[in-house]
Structure formats: C-alpha cells, structure tokens
Amino acid sequence: MVIFLVHMQRRKFLIGVAAAVVTARCGGSSPTGPTPPVTTPPYQPSGPIPPDSPPTPVLGLTQILAFGDSMTEGTTSTPLPFAPLTAGKPESYPYKLQQLTTARYTSQTIVVLNAGQAGEAATDGPTRQRFNDRLSEAGPQLLLLLEGANDMSKLAGQGNTAIDDGISLAVNAMEDMVRDARGRRIEVMLATLPPQRTGGAPARGEAAPFLGRYNDALKVMAGKKDARIVDLYALIPLSLVGEDGLHLTEAGYQRMAEVFLDAIAASFDVP
C-alpha cells in the first residue's frame, strides 16, 4: 500500500511537469494572435543632397602672347632691350590676365607673356621686325594684339584728310601683323583701343574725336583676316582712364584683363 502511494505521487508529479512544459511552449494558458508583419519605413535622407561640383574649366591652348605699346606694357617707361619675356609688371593687363587664368584653369599651366613696348607705333619701321622676333621667341598659340594709340596721337590736330590717311596706314600695319601671325597658325585676338579723354594732364588723349574711325576700320580688317575682335572701346568705361586721358588706371588694366579672359574663355574653353 505504501508503495502504491509513492507510485501515484510520482505519476502525478510527472503529469504536472509535462503540463507545465506544454503550457510554457504555448506561451501561457491564454491564446495569442499572429505576429503582424514588420514594415520598413522608406529611407529619408537627413538633408538635401549636395549638387555635383561643376567640372574644372579646360582651355584649348596654353601659350598666350600679348603684343602692343604702353597699354600692354602697363607703364610708359621703355623696357631694357632684349629683356626676356615674362608676364610683365604687376600693373599691366598681361600680368593680371596671368593671375586670372591661373585661378580659372587650375588643372593647366597657362602662360601669358608681355611683349609691350611704351612709345611704339604700329607704323614705326622696327615694329614689324620686333613683332616677328617676339613671335619666334614666345611660340604662342594665341596672340592678343593691341596697338595704334601712338599712331593716333600723332594725328591729333591734323585735318580730316591727313587723319584718314594716317588711320589707313596704321590699319595696314596692323593687318601685316595679323597676317604674319595667322601665317604661323597663331590665333589672333585684335583689340580696339580703349576710350580716350581730351584735356588730360599731360594731354595724351587728343585722338578721342576720331578714335572710333580707327576702331571701326580695325573691325572691318579683322573680319577679312580671320581675327577675333575684342572691343575694349565698348567694354572699358571712361572712368577707368587716368588723368593723362590715354592710359588706364590700374583698375582699368584689371578690367582689361577681365575682358580678355571672357573673350578667351568664350572662344577656347573645351566643351
């Protein structure tokens, strides 16, 4: 009898343990519903996506020669003969253009050389030889040609016939230089003369009344000789002309460099 009781107690104990296990596996005595599906919310960026940086501009040429008189040189003093070509003095437009091209074309080395000579006229005997010597020395892909101010100054005070003849001679001399450069397969940008003011101190802008006639003749010639016109006369205000009525202030040369840069970029930037 005692043995039976022990057996029954063990049986009850085992049945209780089994029931507890079943209950635990079923998550308790209360039934539960199905687990809802998990939905991942769409990705929300933390802020606006920054735009791609614009590509670095690339110029289709790297060697530029600026040729002209004191407005190219940036000063009225005559340079030493046979001085090596550099960008010139800091106040000159070629020097400032060198800085602008360096800042814009960061993946290239753009060279701007200054071959300006104060007091030079396009019609002077040695000018064309000096021009060709400088082309040979620099080996440019692009020529910036600004000349004729001294030719026009010599005509101040003369009659209309003499002025017209003098303009024709100066334009012919400019045409010779354009032809020489194009014959070497050099691209040419031909600049009109900036505005002048009469009554300066000293008076050097006395060609102002007929300056437009010279500039108009340059434009006609450029169209015939495959040269690009850079219209400095239209794009440089008279307020940037200095007290002598002819030469620009340093701010004027800065503006001149900017005008040339815009023209160069428009014509030669690689798409």
Q: Is the pLDDT of residue 66 over 90?
A: yes
Asked, for residue 169, whether it belongs to a domain, the answer is yes
- Contact between 210 and 253 under an 8 Å Cβ cutoff? The reply is no
The pLDDT value recorded for residue 35 is 60
Q: Is the pLDDT of residue 14 over 80?
A: no
Q: How much of the chain exceeds pLDDT 70, in percent? A: 78
Is this structure's pTM higher than 0.85? Answer: no
**Measured between alpha carbons, how far is residue 33 from residues 19, 27, 165 in Å?**
22, 11, 107
Q: What is the arrangement of strands in the sheet containing 111-116, beginning at the earlier edge strand?
A: 111-116, 63-68, 142-146, 187-191, 228-230
Asked, for residue 40, whether it belongs to a domain, the answer is no
Of 61 and 173, more confident: 173
Asked, for residue 83, whether it belongs to a domain, the answer is yes
- CATH number for the domain harbouring residue 182: 3.40.50.1110
**Measured between alpha carbons, how far is residue 120 from residues 76, 101, 241 in Å?**
10, 27, 20
The pLDDT value recorded for residue 1 is 29
Asked, for residue 6, whether it belongs to a domain, the answer is no
Total of domains in the chain: 1
Q: Is the pLDDT of residue 18 over 70?
A: no
| pLDDT (average), residues 152-179 | 98
**Cα angle for residues 80, 66, 89 (degrees, 5° grid):** 50
Q: Is the pLDDT of residue 8 over 60?
A: no
Q: Is the pLDDT of residue 60 over 60?
A: yes
Q: Is the pLDDT of residue 157 over 50?
A: yes
Per-residue confidence band for 37, with pLDDT thresholds at 50, 70 and 90 = low
The pLDDT value recorded for residue 47 is 60
Asked, for residue 44, whether it belongs to a domain, the answer is no
Round to whole Å and give the CA distance between 178 and 195: 22
Q: Is the pLDDT of residue 79 over 60?
A: no
Using one digit for the tens of pLDDT, what is the confidence trace for 213-256? 999 999 999 999 999 999 999 999 999 999 999 999 999 999 99
Q: Is the pLDDT of residue 107 over 90?
A: yes
Q: Is the pLDDT of residue 27 over 70?
A: no
Contacts of 218 (CB under 8 A, 6+ apart): 148, 171, 174, 190, 192, 229
> Mean of the per-residue pLDDT values for the chain?
85
Range of the domain at 201: 63-268
The pLDDT value recorded for residue 42 is 61
**Measured between alpha carbons, how far is residue 84 from residues 74, 79, 94, 145 in Å?**
16, 10, 15, 19
Asked, for residue 110, whether it belongs to a domain, the answer is yes
Asked, for residue 146, whether it belongs to a domain, the answer is yes
Asked, for residue 20, whether it belongs to a domain, the answer is no
| pLDDT (average), residues 251-266 | 98
